[in-house]
Amino acid sequence: MKIVVNDQVHLSEVRSSDKPALVEQLNDKEIYDRTLRIPYPYTDTNAEEWLAVVAKTTQQQGRPVHWAIRNAEDHLIGACGFNDFQMGKSHRAEIGYLLAKPYWNQGIMTAVVQMACQYAFEEFGLVKITAQVRSENMASARVLEKCGFEQEGYFRKHFPKDGKFIDVRLFALLKGD
């Protein structure tokens, strides 16, 4: 499967052969600092565990709900996907995404999130898509705003990280907005 985003990038299923690229791209303290659940250092084992989760979720949902973001050369440069929902039953899901650092600030994730949300509204029967963002992650919040998301909540000391409890902003996009 292939979802064309633009001339630069497309989405495809995550493959077990993506493991080395995942480790290379995600083993980055700057990604760790901006996200809630990505480990650092990011090891082979972390990549294997995530690939297993993706495979299991694909089986449970009957189709991929996590994708590799690939460039024109078909190299993995990031990932995005939907969590916390059940295909055909849930009206709401949570989007997650990340991009390797060399590709930041080129408009890539804005185009990816727009396409992924459109696809999920049409194909997964969703009515609402949420996103949780660390309060300091201005780039991620900006991506969501550019895609039409609105902030619905600010949760103080909501998520444990590095021995602290950090603040999280909840954004949401409604179908048809």
Q: Binding residues for ligand COA, per CB under 6 A?
A: 31, 34-35, 97-99, 104-110, 133, 137-140, 142-143
Residue 109: which H helix or E strand, with range?
A: helix 108-123
Measured from the CB of residue 96, what is the shortest distance to ligand COA in angstroms?
Answer: 7
Q: In this complex, which beta carbon is closest to ligand COA, that of residue 51 or of residue 133?
A: 133
Measured from the CB of residue 106, what is the shortest distance to ligand COA in angstroms?
Answer: 5
Q: In this complex, which beta carbon is closest to ligand COA, that of residue 9 or of residue 54?
A: 9
Give the distance, in angstroms, between the CA of residue 76 and the centroid of all CA atoms in the same chain.
14
CB burial of 36-47 (b: ≥16 within 10 Å; e: otherwise) equals eebebebeeebb
CB of 133 closer than 8 Å to CB of 124: no
Q: In this complex, which beta carbon is closest to ligand COA, that of residue 77 or of residue 126?
A: 77
Measured from the CB of residue 62, what is the shortest distance to ligand COA in angstroms?
Answer: 26
Measured from the CB of residue 34, what is the shortest distance to ligand COA in angstroms?
Answer: 4
Measured from the CB of residue 127, what is the shortest distance to ligand COA in angstroms?
Answer: 21
Q: For 61, phi and psi rounded to 5 degrees?
A: -85, -15
Q: In this complex, which beta carbon is closest to ligand COA, that of residue 71 or of residue 110?
A: 110
Q: In this complex, which beta carbon is closest to ligand COA, that of residue 29 or of residue 56?
A: 29
What is the residue whose two structure tokens read 């980055």?
28
What is the full DSSP assignment across 6-70? SSSEEEEE--GGGHHHHHHHH--HHHHHH-SS--SS--HHHHHHHHHHHHHHHHHHTS--EEEEE
